[in-house]
Amino acid sequence: MPFEFEQQKISDVILVKPKIFGDNRGFFMEAYKKSDFTKNGINADFKQDNHSLSSKGVLRGLHYQAEPYGQAKLVRCIKGRIFDVAVDIRKDSKTFGEYVKVELSEENKHMLYIPEGFAHGFVVLSEEAELLYKTSNEYAPQADRGLRWNDKDLNIDWGIDFEPILSEKDKNQPLLKEIL
């Protein structure tokens, strides 16, 4: 199988490790294969691909889309290095308010599958980082929502020792208790 699938501490969040075929010419990997993903519990019908570039110290998030426009995401870092974070905001979930954090990088080529019902964010650790990610729903501006990145109730360890660079929107996102 060209992928290894690792359930995270929140079992619906899955770290995907592709098999890399490399030699002196470079490398080849399968980035997505619907049949393998489906066999491993990832049944998202991806509808949109996004590509972002961010500088060192940028923190984007925590973002999600309100129902009925929720999005599952498959995130990978193709250049640089990030910490990627997924926060469970499913109100009836036993892991509500908990998060998963993984390092994604151009070196490890790992991907993080984040199901609907999670807020997502990342912080850039390298000089630049480029992300490619698939979403199971198209962007709907009327459903665009977020959570404050440093909400004390979430207590996310971003693994940084600097003040991140934030958009005005992300500086003013609501707290978890305010979205309830």
pLDDT tens-digit series, residues 162-173: 999 999 999 999
- From the candidates 32, 51, 63, 120, which is the catalytic residue? 63
63 as an active site residue: the answer is yes
pTM as predicted: 0.96
pLDDT, averaged across the chain: 97
pLDDT tens digit string along 78-114?
999 999 999 999 999 999 999 999 999 999 999 999 9
133 as an active site residue: the answer is yes
pLDDT at site 1? 73
Residue 104 is part of a domain; what is its CATH number? 2.60.120.10
pLDDT at site 180? 80
The neighbouring-strand residues paired with 77 are: 131
- From the candidates 64, 99, 113, 133, which is the catalytic residue? 133
111 close to 97: Cβ distance less than 8 angstroms:
no
> Domain span at residue 146?
3-179
Question: How many separate domains does the chain show?
Answer: 1
> Could you tell me the two tokens for 140?
């709907």
In one letter, which amino acid is 164?
P
pLDDT at site 133? 97
Of the pLDDT bands very low, low, confident and very high (cuts 50, 70, 90), residue 16 is: very high
Tokens 């995907």, located at residue = 16
119 CB contacts (<8 Å, ≥6 apart)?
Answer: 61, 62, 63, 64, 86, 87, 89, 145, 146, 147
